[in-house]
């Protein structure tokens, strides 16, 4: 191969690789914007769910520019990568945990009543759950739960189902008595609230949360998420636990609007990292991709957050251990 041709080929290849790295940097910048801007369009909402995966692309871009000794590109790529890493840091840095008795909260989406009651029963027993938040419950599923160890361990119940709308039902099961029942009005699914006395947290407000999914034009998801946010911020003083299927990842800016006025994501407090919970019903080999189930708290600090497979459901359960703050 002639020396001149080899030089042209190398320069062409170098430019192509630099161009690819430049596109990676652009994708990284877009990912940062997706994290901070509360988009309401379905496509952008879906893209935002993939923000954590772009960390790999961001790092590859830095390596490419550095390897080709393109120092300006290296600097720009490094800044973009650092900005993207910064968006995820809260998920891996844990908060200081106060002393006190532990409280265990679990949330499970039972997939229109198809989740195995025995699997949820085992979760409640093995994790020593104090409060169980359920979404997509049906009358039939609740009837089975009421004659299971779920009701034996958590005898106090608040539930509401909607005939012929299996995704709409929600329930709370609690070890301690529930009072002060309420429903968040104006949402597509049932979002229920009760008050209970927990160790170190008297008159704690507990909620099971389930906004609409961001399908169609995503208008219902936007409205439900905003309605739930407003409701939580108007609850007044006192401890709060709001657990459920939020149909939103950590990177959704609209979801993070909840995390003001003392509210925190339990996973963030515990430094649990990225915890994908959906989907688990056969798609992608039962490997969840996005983390849309959360335990949101005020007046508590999470010591640990973990997920559990529930047969028959398309979500992993989220179990959070809390201490009153």
Lookup: tokens for 133: 């938040």
Asked if 178 and 195 touch (Cβ cutoff 8 Å), the reply is yes
Rounded to the nearest 5°, which phi and psi values hold at 166? -60, -30
pLDDT digits (tens, 9 = 90+) for 37-89: 999 999 999 999 999 999 999 999 999 999 999 999 999 999 999 999 999 99
Largest pairwise CA distance in the chain? 85
pLDDT digits (tens, 9 = 90+) for 157-172: 999 999 888 899 999 9
Query: With bands split at pLDDT 50, 70 and 90, how would you rate the model's confidence at 116?
Result: very high
Whole-number pLDDT of residue 7:
64
- Higher per-residue confidence, 235 vs 7: 235
Asked if 54 and 62 touch (Cβ cutoff 8 Å), the reply is no
- List the domains of the chain with CATH numbers: 3-91 (no CATH), 102-324 (3.60.10.10)
Q: Spell out the alpha helix ranges (H) of the chain.
A: 3-36, 42-49, 54-67, 71-88, 117-126, 139-146, 149-153, 219-233, 253-256, 266-270
∠ CA 255-321-237, rounded to 5°: 60
3-state secondary structure of 285: helix
């Amino acid at each position: 191969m002639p020396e001149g041709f080899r030089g042209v080929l190398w320069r062409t290849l170098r430019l192509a690789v630099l161009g690819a790295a430049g596109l990676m940097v652009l994708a990284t910048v877009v990912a940062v914007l997706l994290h901070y801007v509360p988009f309401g369009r379905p496509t952008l909402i879906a893209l935002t769910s993939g923000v954590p995966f772009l960390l790999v692309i961001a790092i590859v871009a830095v390596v490419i520019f550095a390897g080709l000794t393109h120092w300006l590109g290296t600097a720009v790529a490094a800044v973009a990568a650092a900005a993207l890493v910064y968006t995820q840091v809260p998920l891996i840095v844990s908060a200081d945990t106060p002393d006190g008795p532990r409280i265990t909260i679990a949330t499970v989406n039972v997939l229109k009543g198809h989740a195995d009651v025995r699997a949820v029963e085992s979760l409640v027993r093995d994790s020593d759950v104090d409060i169980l938040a359920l979404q997509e419950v049906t009358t039939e599923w609740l009837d089975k739960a009421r004659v299971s160890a779920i009701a034996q361990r958590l005898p106090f119940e608040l539930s509401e189902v909607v005939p012929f709308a299996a995704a709409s039902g929600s329930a709370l099961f609690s070890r301690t008595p529930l009072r002060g029942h309420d429903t968040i009005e104006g949402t597509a699914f049932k979002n229920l609230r009760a008050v209970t006395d927990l160790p170190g947290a008297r008159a704690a407000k507990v909620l099971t949360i389930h906004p609409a999914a961001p399908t169609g034009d995503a208008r219902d998801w936007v409205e439900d998420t905003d309605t739930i946010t407003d409701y939580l911020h108007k609850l007044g003083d006192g401890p709060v636990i709001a657990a459920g299927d939020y149909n939103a990842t950590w990177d959704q800016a609209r979801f993070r609007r909840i995390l003001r006025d003392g509210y925190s994501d339990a996973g963030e407090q515990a430094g649990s990292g990225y915890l994908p919970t959906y989907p688990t019903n056969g798609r992608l080999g039962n490997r969840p991709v996005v983390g849309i189930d959360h335990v949101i708290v005020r007046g508590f600090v999470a010591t640990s957050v973990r997920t559990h497979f529930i047969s028959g459901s398309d979500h992993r359960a989220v179990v959070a251990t809390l201490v009153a703050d």
